[in-house]
Amino acid sequence: NAGVTQTPKFQVLKTGQSMTLQCAQDMNHNSMYWYRQDPGMGLRLIYYSASEGTTDKGEVPNGYNVSRLNKREFSLRLESAAPSQTSVYFCASSSGGIAEAFFGQGTRLTVV
């Protein structure tokens, strides 16, 4: 059972480069989320998608874009990476409403 799968697991970017973080879930969940986790800051919501075809901003959306490609996949794009975007990124999915979320294994991104 794969659950939520994120790629890549590690990435180093130079300032100004772009990249897309991929996330796929096989639990037939409606809702998907992107979080970033920084030391002492907890998990902060970047964007979420309540259902296929919809996306909404979270707490820290600046510098990011997302695409809900289909029900399974939700990607996060950094158009012009900045050192402040150095973080661990987690994708999560949920059946929706008030249900719990399940997390992928994370992507550790370093921007130099």
Partner 1 sequence: QKEVEQNSGPLSVPEGAIASLNCTYSDRVSQSFFWYRQYSGKSPELIMSIYSNGDKEDGRFTAQLNKASQYVSLLIRDSQPSDSATYLCAVNDGNNRLAFGKGNQVVVIP
Give the interface with partner 1 as residue ranges (CB under 8 A). 31, 33, 35, 40-45, 48, 50, 58-59, 90, 92, 94, 96-106
Contact present, 13 and 81 (Cβ < 8 Å): yes
Ordered DSSP codes for 39-67? TTTEEEEEEEESSTT--EE-S--TTEEEE
For residue 111, give the H/E element and its range.
strand 107-111
Q: Which amino acid is at 78?
A: L
Nearer to partner 1, 85 or 93 (CB): 93
Nearer to partner 1, 14 or 100 (CB): 100
Min dist CB 67 to partner 1, Å, is 17
Q: Cβ of residue 16: shortest distance to partner 1, in angstroms?
A: 28
